[in-house]
Amino acid sequence: MGGWWLDDQGRRGLLVAVLLSGPAFAQATSSSSSASSEEVIAWAGEDALSGGVVDGVEDPNQGPPEGSEPLAEPGAATSLTEDALAQALPPRIGPGDAPPRGATITDPAATPPPSEATPPGKKKKSKPGPQQEDSLGEDTTALDDTPPEEVQTVRVFGRVYARASADERVKYQRTLSIPSARVGVGTSLPNLEAEVSADLADTSLLKDAFVRLADDKKRFRLYGGQFKAPFLQRRLEGSWSLPIQGRGLVDDYLTDTYELGGRRLGLMGEVRLKSLWDVRVSAGVFQGAKDELGVRTKEDLAGRVSVSPIKKRLTLGVSTYVAEALDRARRHAVAADAELKLGPLAVSGEFVTGRLPVGPFTAQLMLASWTVPMGPEWALQPVLGAEGLQLRGDVEGRGHSVVGGLNLLLGNRFRGQFQVERALRPGDAAPGIEYSLQLATRF
């Protein structure tokens, strides 16, 4: 079957002819209803693109093929149709040609299927309740359970706590404060992590500044810099994960007053075996505290072992801290802790015993919370806790506290906390009640 070589002008003319001949053909068909069925079949079998040539035989009564000559005089309506078709038809681009200026080339493979496309304007909502910390300095396990593809190479984080309180000990004088205004930056590479953070509301500006080396499977890690010593589960838990304001009477007395644990300059090694009850062993050497004369004492030692016999539900741990380990070791302590999580219920407890310069001591801590969802992102969280402290040396004394509160949670970025605490702290003549309201957010 023969054919004609049609350039771009011929192709466009042919398309115009087909479009313009449609109405005329419909009228001719209605006026020639007496035509034989054989003639209709013959016409229907003819190829519209063959130019009237069938099997190499050309009709002598037929003129040149459609599209090979102008269909209208120059300047007529054809020019308008040509312009419209030029815009509708895509330009011919050869393998080595560059696309015309202003043309947009879309790669079909780059367009996600409709099922995978994210609905416009729809944001992923976060569930309220206990969440992982953003900072490795607050919780060294913060990124352990995060999928590698979701870990950012560089991350910036921060938090702000604003508190109003009224204490019976000072005749309910109202106090406004900013307990924390933390900002920090961290980086995560395949075998290296580092973090620096500062608290603008604290007299000690620098909080964390450390690097962490690890093998490919994150089983062995080495820390260097300033970070939390592995002692006391209450201290190791991030402040955002705690359902109470502050860390409680016992932690304040042991860490802030007698400097057992807390953030120190040091070097620490860690081993984690997930396949074996998620065993985690941490041990390190840390810079000693200053004595009464301001002289730096010798190095301290700290260590902790924890296991999770019931994954993500039950965690058991033992930790120890020995101050001036290479000298007199007048301050030391051992603690055992347990944490149980059953859906919205979280219960933790810890027992501590050791020796301070004032003599032997024991302490107990217990905390429970229940998260009640109130919608996709909102939740209420009742909290109840109790602590006890006993000094049994030359200086005898007791301390205790009972705390209750209600938290309002919005996702994992905001919470409002109302708390009532009745406590007898070391140095108090009688127990006192404190009311406090705290608004907290993190970013």
List pLDDT tens digits, range 110-149: 444 444 444 544 445 566 655 567 788 888 888 877 787 8
Query: Which amino acid does the sequence have at 54?
Result: V
Q: Report how far apart, in Å, the C-alpha atoms of 415 and of each of 269, 329, 409 are.
A: 35, 42, 4
Burial 253-291 (b: 16+ CB within 10 A, else e): bbbeebbbbbbbebebebebeeeebbebebebbbebbee
Contact 207, 229 (CB under 8 A): no
**What kind and span of H or E run contains 8?**
helix 8-31
Q: How far is it, in rounded angstroms, from Cα 133 to Cα 300?
A: 27
**What kind and span of H or E run contains 367?**
strand 359-370
All residue ranges of the chain with pLDDT < 70 are 1-132
Residue-level pLDDT at 145: 73
Contact 271, 219 (CB under 8 A): yes
Residue-level pLDDT at 337: 98
Residue-level pLDDT at 2: 44
Q: Coil, helix or strand for 239? A: coil
Cross-strand partners of 345: 342, 370
DSSP-assigned letters across all residues of 104-142: ----GGGSPPTTTSPPTTPPPPPPPS----S-TTT-TTT
Please tell me what DSSP assigns to residue 344.
T
Burial class (CB in 10 A: 0-12, 13-18, 19+), 114: exposed
Residue-level pLDDT at 351: 98
Q: What share of the chain is helix, strand, coil (3-state, %, to 5)?
A: 15, 45, 40
Chain position carrying tokens 């957010």: 441
Residue-level pLDDT at 167: 95
Residue-level pLDDT at 83: 53
Q: How far is it, in rounded angstroms, from Cα 186 to Cα 383?
A: 32
Residue-level pLDDT at 328: 80
Q: What is the pTM of this model?
A: 0.71
Contact 252, 427 (CB under 8 A): no
Residue-level pLDDT at 75: 47
Residue-level pLDDT at 396: 84
Contact 166, 172 (CB under 8 A): yes
Chain position carrying tokens 């013959």: 42
- pLDDT (tens digit per residue) in 281-319: 999 999 999 888 888 889 999 999 999 999 889 999 999
Query: Which amino acid does the sequence have at 181?
Result: A
- What are φ and ψ of residue 288, in 5° steps? -75, 165
